[in-house]
Structure 1
Amino acid sequence: MGCQDLQGFVPPPVNQGAGFNSTAADEAPSLSADGRYLAFGSDRQGQRNLYLYDLQERRFVDLPNLNRPNSSQEQPSLSANGRFIAYISTERGRPDVFVYDRQTQRPQLLSQAVRGICRHPSISGDGRYVAYQTSERGQWNIEIYDRGSP
């Protein structure tokens, strides 16, 4: 079957069972390039937190030091192998862009110099670049942050 034959073809959804869905609002899914990891935001513990689910092992992955009390973490974007998670957090009282490194278990604040609101981060496959929207100049613009070699 060629590409022409696939027009209008919709693959069936993959049912993951009751593993990661909940009765809370689960939103903003992001898959790693290999399809192994799924990151998403959820209100399941009374505040917006980020979760990482290993689709291969069908279990949640611990994210020490990522979710912060009295703030929300949302809009995750995964690097190709799932090591880095770019996301929005309100821990400083406004939406900021952070990148969490699963290897070091530490978040890095990227938007400390931005005066406007930040949203919709997108991380490159290798975790080096993060693009996001900012309202710093009075309208929505796109910024790209170079984190250097990961």
Structure 2
Amino acid sequence: MLTDGRIPFSPARWAGKLCLAGLSLVLLGCSPAGFRTPRPSLTNSGLNSIFPDGEPAFNGDGRYLVFSSARSGSQDIFLYDTVERRLVDLPGLNSSDVAATSPDISADGRYIVYVSNALGKSEIFLYDRETRRIENISSRVPGDVRNPTISGDGRFIAFESNGQGQWHIEIFDRGPAASTRPTSPSSPNADDNP
């Protein structure tokens, strides 16, 4: 100690303090630059929970993130609003006795496509957030189905099926009226088939 009561500079002491400060930041959840990952929520009300969360897919502008999670006792579909930083209700989509996985979402966030075993085997379903209706897309497809994806405008749904003995890609066209984007007769997506 100096005669005026100050402690002299000690590189070893400062190195120890810096190390302790760095460890504190790591333990407090400091994320690397660019990450916006919320910490797991003990109440299961946020993006991450203490249960397995996975299969994330963003809508077109990145506002909505759809994913599957086992946080409610069964595998369900959840929607997270990245702007408001909260889960969005999906009335009628999830059921405690049915597994729902592999979600994808349209560009405007209106339609969610996913796999469910609600009818005893894997099927592709479409959930409309506006009308709260659920539609079975793969009811006429034999065999198993998996990995659905939806076009940005909500018109086309592609998925894999093994009904012909090996996995193939199926494309379901919901018709021009299903598109959330207006089409004109000269547009390459416009046609007369419903």
Instruction: Tell me if TM exceeds 0.5.
Output: yes
The normalised TM-score by structure 2 is: 0.70
Equivalent-residue separation in structure 2 for 1:65 and 1:89 (angstroms): 13
Q: Which amino acid in the other structure matches residue 54 of structure 1?
A: D
In structure 2, what is the equivalent of residue 5 of structure 1?
A: none
In structure 1, what is the equivalent of residue 22 of structure 2?
A: none
In structure 2, what is the equivalent of residue 136 of structure 1?
A: 163
In structure 1, what is the equivalent of residue 80 of structure 2?
A: 53
Equivalent-residue separation in structure 2 for 1:12 and 1:98 (angstroms): 34
Q: Which amino acid in the other structure matches residue 38 of structure 2?
A: Q
Q: CA RMSD in A?
A: 1.2
Equivalent-residue separation in structure 2 for 1:121 and 1:42 (angstroms): 17
Identity of aligned residues (%): 44
In structure 2, what is the equivalent of residue 8 of structure 1?
A: none
Structure number with greater CO (CA < 8 Å, separation at least 6) is: 1
The superposition leaves residues 104-124 of structure 1 with CA deviations (integer Å, 9 ceiling, x where unpaired) of 001110011112100000000
Shift of 1:17: 4.3
The normalised TM-score by structure 1 is: 0.89
- For residue 14 of structure 1, the aligned residue among 27, 33, 36 is 36
Count how many residue pairs are aligned between Structure 1 and Structure 2.
140
User: Structure 2 unaligned runs (5+)?
Assistant: 1-32, 41-45, 179-194
Equivalent-residue separation in structure 2 for 1:53 and 1:13 (angstroms): 16
- For residue 83 of structure 1, the aligned residue among 100, 110, 113 is 110
Equivalent-residue separation in structure 2 for 1:16 and 1:83 (angstroms): 24
> Which residues in structure 2 correspond to 1:118-133 (within 5 Å)?
118-133=145-160
In structure 1, what is the equivalent of residue 10 of structure 2?
A: none
What's the secondary structure of 1:107's corresponding residue?
A: strand
Structure 1 segments (4+ residues) deviating >4 Å: none
Equivalent-residue separation in structure 2 for 1:23 and 1:16 (angstroms): 12
User: Structure 1 unaligned runs (5+)?
Assistant: 1-10
Between stretches 65-74 and 15-24, larger displacement belongs to 15-24
What's the secondary structure of 1:66's corresponding residue?
A: coil
In structure 1, what is the equivalent of residue 144 of structure 2?
A: 117
Q: Which amino acid in the other structure matches residue 151 of structure 2?
A: S
Shift of 1:71: 1.1
In structure 1, what is the equivalent of residue 8 of structure 2?
A: none
Shift of 1:39: 0.5
Q: Which amino acid in the other structure matches residue 72 of structure 1?
A: A
2:160–2:167 contact (8 Å) kept in structure 1: yes
Q: Between Structure 1 and Structure 2, whose CA radius of gyration is higher? A: 2
- For residue 125 of structure 2, the aligned residue among 80, 98, 102 is 98
